[in-house]
């Protein structure tokens, strides 16, 4: 494999010295970019875009041509695993992802197949390999998956949800069924992420997008414990380098103390968590990532610069020299002016130099 020209992202995740703060953006390949919209139109629809190696590679690289980012992230979707389990993923305009089949009974769970990611999700692995080759060692490639809890909510609800009615009914009425489903999904995610590593992913992020919807004990029992199982089952070294693992629970900053026990290398934070207090709590035991409010990018140049500088002041308030990756607190939105992320990226690199 080609040697990395810019490895500051990986170094920061492992709390090694860096020359400037690394930065990437969740959902950095997306609808806010006109070139993405053009490629998606050529593909015909979102799933066709994901399943076409050439297109998936192209949209992954698009933000790196515009911005001085320190990592690429595989272009795919967190719901590829449930789709491979036979639930029939589809997208309706303006309504987001939906499934033709839901999982709500013991028989539904028993009937779920065991997937082989190398074959059942071969289009994802083809994309990883193609992207890694196209990057030419310029920056690392991040692979990812949804967390078992987040995947389960989509599978049980049949799509997005605001109240998780059916999922929480299963959780409180028949918790053993939900545990069975989550265990099945954890095994599938381990296989899926390890296949991505074998295909060329150099870091892994687990998106626990809906973990923050859980109560404290339930978060540990029904989300964190299954992410712990995944971390334990992942390939952690490849080609002589550590494969860092990032856990991101949206709305989960209050659980950092228990998250540390998972052995993950880094934890993502959303904008509701104080970064300086989080750094103090973690105390060098793991790296942190985040946590700019994505809506900040709707603002003026001056507004963005000020918010980024305050975030960096918080990140380095306790005297740390590394162990921090700048990012948004969630995915960039489709309404952002594509000129504004450059201000975010450049300010991170320029301003953070004074701390490093």
Q: What is the mean pLDDT of residues 228-250?
A: 97
* Contact (Cβ atoms closer than 8 angstroms) between residue 108 and residue 170: no
**Quick one: which of 15, 6, 2, 5 has its CA closest to 242?**
15
Average pLDDT over residues 219-237: 98
Please give the mean pLDDT across all residues of the chain. 97
The pair phi, psi for residue 12, each rounded to 5°, is: -65, -40
Question: Tens of pLDDT along 49-64?
Answer: 999 999 999 999 999 9
Is 37 annotated to bind ligand? no
40 catalytically annotated: yes
**Residue 89: what pLDDT?**
94
How many CB atoms are located within 10 Å of the residue 350 CB?
Answer: 14
Confidence of residue 3 (pLDDT cuts 50, 70, 90): confident
C-alpha to C-alpha distance for 47 and 252, rounded to whole angstroms: 30
Active site residue 217: no
Q: Is 154 a catalytic residue?
A: yes
- Residue extents of the structural domains in the chain: 8-355
Q: Which of 32, 154, 316, 324 is catalytic?
A: 154
pLDDT tens column, 128-146 = 999 999 999 999 999 999 9
Check residue 2 and give its pLDDT: 75
pLDDT at 16: 98
- Give the pTM: 0.97
Q: Is 37 a catalytic residue?
A: no
* Tokens, residue 168: 């929480």
Question: Into which CATH architecture does domain 8-355 fall?
Answer: Alpha-Beta Barrel (3.20)
Please tell me whether 202 is known to bind a ligand. no
pLDDT at res. 1: 55
154 is in an annotated binding site: yes
Active-site annotation holds for 27: yes
């Amino acid at each position: 494999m080609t040697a990395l020209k810019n490895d500051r992202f990986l170094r920061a995740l492992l709390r090694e010295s860096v020359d400037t703060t690394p930065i990437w953006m969740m959902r950095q390949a997306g609808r806010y970019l006109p070139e993405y919209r053009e490629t998606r139109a050529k593909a015909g629809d979102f799933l066709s875009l994901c399943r076409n190696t050439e297109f998936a590679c192209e949209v992954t690289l698009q933000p790196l041509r515009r911005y001085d980012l320190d990592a690429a992230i595989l272009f795919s979707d967190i719901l590829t695993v449930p789709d491979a389990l036979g639930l029939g993923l589809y997208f309706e305009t303006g309504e987001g992802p939906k499934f033709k089949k839901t999982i709500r009974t013991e028989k539904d769970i028993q009937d779920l197949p065991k997937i082989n990611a190398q074959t059942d999700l071969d289009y994802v692995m083809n994309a990883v390999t193609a992207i890694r080759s196209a990057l030419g060692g310029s920056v690392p490639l991040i692979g990812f998956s949804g967390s078992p809890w987040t995947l389960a909510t989509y599978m049980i609800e049949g799509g997005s949800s605001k109240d998780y009615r059916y999922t929480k009914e299963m959780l409180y009425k028949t918790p053993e069924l939900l545990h069975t489903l989550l265990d099945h999904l954890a095994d599938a995610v381990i296989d899926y992420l390890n296949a991505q590593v074998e295909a060329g992913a150099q870091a892994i992020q687990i998106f626990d997008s809906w973990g923050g919807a859980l109560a404290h004990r339930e978060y540990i029992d029904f989300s964190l414990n299954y992410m712990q199982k995944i971390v334990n089952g992942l390939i952690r070294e490849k080609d002589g380098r550590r494969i860092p693992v990032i856990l991101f629970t949206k709305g989960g900053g209050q659980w950092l103390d228990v998250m540390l026990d998972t052995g993950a290398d880094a934890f993502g934070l959303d904008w509701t968590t104080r970064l300086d207090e989080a750094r103090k709590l973690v105390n060098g035991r793991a790296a942190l990532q985040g946590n700019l409010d994505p809506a900040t990018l709707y603002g003026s140049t001056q507004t963005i610069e000020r918010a980024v500088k305050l975030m960096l002041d918080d990140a380095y308030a306790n005297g740390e020299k590394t162990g921090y990756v700048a990012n948004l607190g969630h995915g960039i939105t489709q309404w952002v002016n594509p000129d504004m992320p450059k201000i975010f990226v450049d300010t991170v690199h320029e301003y953070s130099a004074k701390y490093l």
